Amino acid sequence: MDFSDRQGRCVVLDEVTDENWRAVADVAPADEQRRFVAALGARYLLLSMRGGVWNSLAIRAGDAVVGHVMWAYDEEGGAHWIGGMIVDAAEQGRGVGRAAVRALIGRLGALPSCREIRLSYHPENAPAGRLYAELGFAPTGDFEDEEVVAALAVAPTAG
């Protein structure tokens, strides 16, 4: 499935490689968004490398790395999680975030073990809450580190 931003650029999730990691590390939110997420993609890259839980992906629009997102599987809860979502400040509002989350839902949803996708966002992070709600995530009533936990049920794939 293809996902595009509002400029018609193809939005793709790439593995982090020797070629793109610097650009992923440099991804930065706007200053006022730093209360919601890490100040740089580098923080999440290190978490993925050191923690053994999260898996970082580069968000690419056309030829440019424009964001970071990561995913994990919580064996205990049986859900896949999305985290560390940052679209670089200069690239926000162009449809990249929506395309990237849709692409990740498609990717995780295709895994045979995936029944539910969860994520969390700060209650005051209205853009994030709106984006996730538009894509079908509904608050579960749970909170994680003061963040609203929202979930999307994944239909079992045929066969």
Ligand X SMILES: CC(C)(COP(=O)(O)OP(=O)(O)OC[C@H]1O[C@@H](n2cnc3c(N)ncnc32)[C@H](O)[C@@H]1OP(=O)(O)O)[C@@H](O)C(=O)NCCC(=O)NCCS
Residue ranges in contact with ligand X by CB under 6 A:
29, 33, 36-37, 85-87, 92-98, 121, 125-128, 130-131, 134
Radius of gyration for the alpha carbons in the chain, expressed in angstroms and rounded = 15
Query: Could you tell me the strand order of the sheet in which 11-15 lies?
Result: 11-15, 55-61, 64-74, 79-87, 116-121, 147-153, 138-144
Nearest approach, Cβ of residue 157 and ligand X (Å): 26
CB-nearer residue toward ligand X: 99 or 112: 99
Looking at the Cβ atoms of 51 and 93, the one nearer to ligand X is 93
Q: Is residue 108 helix, strand or coil? A: helix
Nearer to ligand X, 9 or 113 (CB): 9
Task: Give the angle subtended at the CA of 149 by the CAs of 148 and 150, to the nearest 5°.
Answer: 115
Residue nearest to ligand X (CB): 97
CB of 85 to ligand X, least distance (A): 4
Say if CB 85 and CB 128 are below 8 A apart: yes
Least Å from the CB of residue 64 to ligand X: 13
Q: Which two tokens stand for residue 67?
A: 């964001």
Query: Vertex 149, ends 146 and 154: CA angle to 5°?
Result: 165
| In the complex, minimum distance from the CB of residue 6 to ligand X, in angstroms, rounded to a whole number | 7
Nearer to ligand X, 47 or 158 (CB): 47
Cβ proximity to ligand X, 8 vs 112, nearer residue: 8
**What's the min distance (Å) between Cβ of 108 and ligand X?**
16
